Amino acid sequence: MLKKILKITGITIILFVTALFAIPYFFKDQIKAKIADAINQKVDAKVTFAEADLSLFKSFPNATVTLDQLLIINKAPFEGDTLVSLGELNLKMSIKELFKGENEAMNIEGISSKNGLINIIFNKDGIGNYDIALKDDTNKDDTKSKPLSLKIQDYKIENFQFRYFDESSKIKMRIDSLNHEGTGDFAASKLDLVTKSTAKVSLDMDKVNYMKNVALTLDAVLGIDLEKSKYTFKENKALINQLPLEFDGFIQLVDAGQEYDLKFKTPTSSFKNFLGIIPAAYASSLDNVKTTGDFTVVGFAKGLYSDTTVPKFNIDIASNNASFQYPDLPKSVQNIVIDTKIINETGILNDTYVNLDKLSFRIDQDVFNAKANIRNITQNALVDAALKGTINLGNLSKAYPVKLDKPLSGILKADVTTKFDMQSVEKSQYQNINNAGTMSLTGFKYVDENGKTMNISKALVQFNPNQVNLKQFDAATGKSDLSVSGVLENFYGFIFKNQELKGNFNLNSNQIAVSDFMTTEEAGKAETKQTEAMKIPAFLNCSLTAKANTVLYDNLTLKNVSGKLIVKDEKLTMENVKTSIFGGTIGLNGAVSTKGKTPTFDMDLGLNQVDIAQSFTQLDMLKKIAPIAGIINGKLNSTIKLNGNLTDSMSPDLKTLTGDLLGQLLSTTVNSSNSTLLTALGSNLKFIDLKKINLNDLKAAITFKNGMVNVKPFDIKYQDIKATIGGTHGFDQSMNYTLKFNVPAKYLGTEANALIAKLSPADAAKLENIPINAMLTGNFSNPKITTDLKTAVSNLTNQLVQQQKEKLVGKGTSALTDLINKNKKPGDTTKTVIPATKEEVKTKAKEEVKAKASELLNGLFNKKKKVADTTKVK
């Protein structure tokens, strides 16, 4: 890798130089044209820049040519990849250089650049994207005058990023915040280059992170022999985080690669050197820290780095019986022993091995020991490790200034040995993993940033051959308690290879409050905290068989909850979940996914013998689907299929709800006095007593989508009155329903019955039922009711006329006179006029009967309205 990096460094300098092959003139257009032409003659890539400017003031008395937004984009096989991006590139030269002739070389004295990115990629075939020099350049006439001559005295780069990825070896390196500058006379064949460098380095190999944002500083004088391509470390001081190192020796470029002969060591043996390794985010000032004992890093690298070899090296990290105590903390760390070696004795990279022969320390009476051996590191790393000891977590922040928002507590005990190879971990070949021992955590208490507390009374993990068992996990948080046990299938794959965490677990709980597992965020100073949606972790791939006596969800109390939960791909699938609630049981199968920006759900519910009033008043979703059901007393069996989005509180977003409901009512009565709608309906339809309606075994089908509910027409019976009901309503409580009644005439009041009593039994039996229609609009709290009573009156009148006219004509005028006089009201002195002809008799009979029937029915349906009754009658 070092060879590639050194080669890349050389190529990078060439890339800077290729951007300079132009003669800056006083005219911007000429400068841009010359630079673009010179660059494109040298590289096989797409090169662009936004602007080129000439300034006589930036570095007076020198001139400066500036290129803005220089981009070098690869061609195949890295088509479209950015190789170099420079926010700004500055070339410094003497002003007199601007006046040289076209064939005279211009001397560049300084180069600087800001906000750059260098992105190096090696594909599976070992081809690098940095090799963009035109291949036929070597065939060109070398005697031709070159436009530029590098007589650099200083150079500088600020805020650079360096990316390196080798697809075949899976090595990924990232350097951020790279700042580097150097001063020296590059016109001489031998020079001393004075450099200063700072950077943050991260390194990953095959998904395992070895360094993360490690701060590096190097101030060095490099002796450079350009003829021999030899770079010698002279005066130098390096810092890895705060660990000081000094280098001695050289690196020389040779035909086969690079020749190394380097030695390095810590300049002092103080144990403060070890504390300096700890990243700044977790460290504190080393001033006034009391230490005893030593800590040293000593090593060498000697040999050839080539395509097949690496230098032999030995890094020895040691400390013996050391201690430290920070001035403001009550505890000290004692008896520190470190004995670690990283060695390669053959020059073959895979022969490198790491021996952590001992790592030991003591805080108070608690002693912790570890050892490990890692071999075969590049092909299939073999790990043999052991942990044994006790750590009181509460003492960590008392002995070391670790930055915690809330202090930890608890006792961690370990006695574990493990032996495995990384290939078996990656391929889940658990039979090749050999574990033994236990690890436990007791009395652990953790408080998050929102003040929520997690108490783990005991967690016990047992390491068995080829598996890890969670024997016990007892915890409590808020109103919730948990007891979990199970098997972790790929514990090492999760730890070392960033694989999913697989397992099968059992959970038992007396009570779970869902709100205990929600997070909150501040919505603003004037607002309260808002609940944030739970995010199902992407790394989980496990199943959980759960039983809970009580689950508290929002305002609901669920009893005897059981079922199987499967977590995979940021999705929670629920199988055969059952709970007792609302006096019955609910079964649930479905899934919740938080993979997208908005959480979604898809569920099938089975309601068995649930109390209608409770379920349709306490569940907001059911309340919206069937608002009228809340005034029905009784039981319900129902199946509900629904899907939609979830809100941040993990409740259904009713605006997105889609689905259908099939329901059957059992042992029901109607409490119409609690419903504005039924009260208004009863005042308009006197022939029905809503309190006596029998809804037993009523079956209804409902569908809902986009905030609208469609109720498929269904029939109900009241005595021998048949009614058909159907229509729609919105979740906003608006409604549009049609009620169709088929009413026997006998239910139209005492006066109707008196009139019908005048008919013979045979004629009365011939009367047809009266169809009456009602329309319900408005909304449930302020309904508008219209009926077609006038049509009903007309229908009844026509029946009576049709039956009586022939009879009256046949009996003559005497019978008609008797019929009319019998139905006169007291005080009616109207004189009876006898029709003279048959036609007059028929006409008179029809008018008299119609008048009496209309008077009767209008009296029935248009009784004096109550003051509050605003319904209309048509």
Residue where a domain stops, chosen among 182, 210, 229: 229
Residues 738 and 607 both lie in one domain: no
pLDDT > 80? residue 513: yes
**Cβ neighbours, 10 Å, residue 244:** 18
Q: Collect contacts of 806-815 with beta carbons under 8 A, ≥24 apart.
A: 808/841, 808/842, 808/845, 809/838, 809/841, 809/842, 809/845, 812/841, 813/841
Is 545 within the bounds of a domain? yes
Residues 515 and 616 both lie in one domain: yes
Choice between 47 and 8, residue whose per-residue pLDDT is larger: 47
pLDDT above 70 covers a percentage of the chain that reads 76
Residues 666 and 746 both lie in one domain: no
Choice between 143 and 505, residue whose per-residue pLDDT is larger: 505
Query: Taking residues 309-313, what's their average pLDDT?
Result: 93
Residues 626 and 750 both lie in one domain: no
Tokens 């101030």, located at residue:
219
> What angle is formed at CA 792 by the lines to CA 789 and CA 798, rounded to 5 degrees?
145
State the Cα–Cα distance between residues 347 and 633, nearest whole angstrom.
86
Choice between 593 and 24, residue whose per-residue pLDDT is larger: 593
Choice between 686 and 288, residue whose per-residue pLDDT is larger: 288
Taking only the tens place, the pLDDT of each residue in 774-797 is: 898 888 888 898 888 667 766 666
Residue-range definition of the domain harbouring residue 781: 719-824+831-874
Quick one: which H or E segment has residue 790?
helix 789-811
Residue where a domain stops, chosen among 172, 197, 229: 229
Question: Which amino acid belongs to residue 850?
Answer: K
pLDDT > 80? residue 497: no
Question: What backbone torsions phi and psi does residue 150 show, to the nearest 5 degrees?
Answer: -85, 105
Integer angstrom CA distances of residue 823 from 79, 220, 765, 768, 809: 104, 127, 22, 23, 18
Choice between 617 and 861, residue whose per-residue pLDDT is larger: 617
In this prediction, residue 372 carries a pLDDT of 95
Is 298 within the bounds of a domain? no
State the number of CA atoms in the 13 A half-sphere of 54 facing the CB: 20
| 428-446: burial string, b at 16+ Cβ within 10 Å, e else | eebeebebebebbbeebbb
Lowest average pLDDT, out of 80-89, 214-223, 386-395, 806-815, goes to: 806-815
Is 115 within the bounds of a domain? yes
Residues 770 and 637 both lie in one domain: no
Residues 108 and 199 both lie in one domain: yes
Residue pair 208/497 in contact (Cβ under 8 Å)? The answer is yes
Residue where a domain stops, chosen among 180, 212, 229: 229
In this prediction, residue 272 carries a pLDDT of 84
Question: Which amino acid belongs to residue 398?
Answer: K
Is 252 within the bounds of a domain? no
Q: By C-alpha distance, which of 104, 64, 107 is closest to 88?
A: 64
Integer angstrom CA distances of residue 640 from 660, 703, 725: 6, 10, 21
Number of structural domains in the chain: 3
Is 209 within the bounds of a domain? yes
Residues 736 and 664 both lie in one domain: no
pLDDT > 70? residue 339: yes
Residues 202 and 88 both lie in one domain: yes
Residues 58 and 197 both lie in one domain: yes
Taking only the tens place, the pLDDT of each residue in 649-701 is: 777 888 888 999 998 888 777 776 667 777 777 777 777 777 777 777 788 89
The mean predicted confidence, pLDDT, of the chain is: 80
Is 539 within the bounds of a domain? yes
Residues 652 and 758 both lie in one domain: no
State the Cα–Cα distance between residues 177 and 181, nearest whole angstrom.
13
pLDDT > 90? residue 392: yes
Query: Taking residues 305-315, what's their average pLDDT?
Result: 90
Q: Which residues have C-beta within 8 Å of that of residue 823, sequence separation ≥ 6?
A: 852
In this prediction, residue 418 carries a pLDDT of 92
Confidence label for 837 from pLDDT (cuts 50, 70 and 90)? low
pLDDT > 80? residue 565: yes
| DSSP H helical ranges for 326-421 | 393-399
Residues 724 and 848 both lie in one domain: yes
Residues 7 and 102 both lie in one domain: yes
State the Cα–Cα distance between residues 337 and 559, nearest whole angstrom.
55
Q: Global pTM?
A: 0.66
| DSSP designation for 852 | H
Choice between 175 and 675, residue whose per-residue pLDDT is larger: 175
Is 110 within the bounds of a domain? yes
Is 638 within the bounds of a domain? yes
Helices 838-861, 750-757: crossing angle, 10 deg rounding = 150
Confidence label for 60 from pLDDT (cuts 50, 70 and 90)? low
Taking only the tens place, the pLDDT of each residue in 394-433 is: 998 889 887 777 778 999 999 999 999 988 888 878 788 8
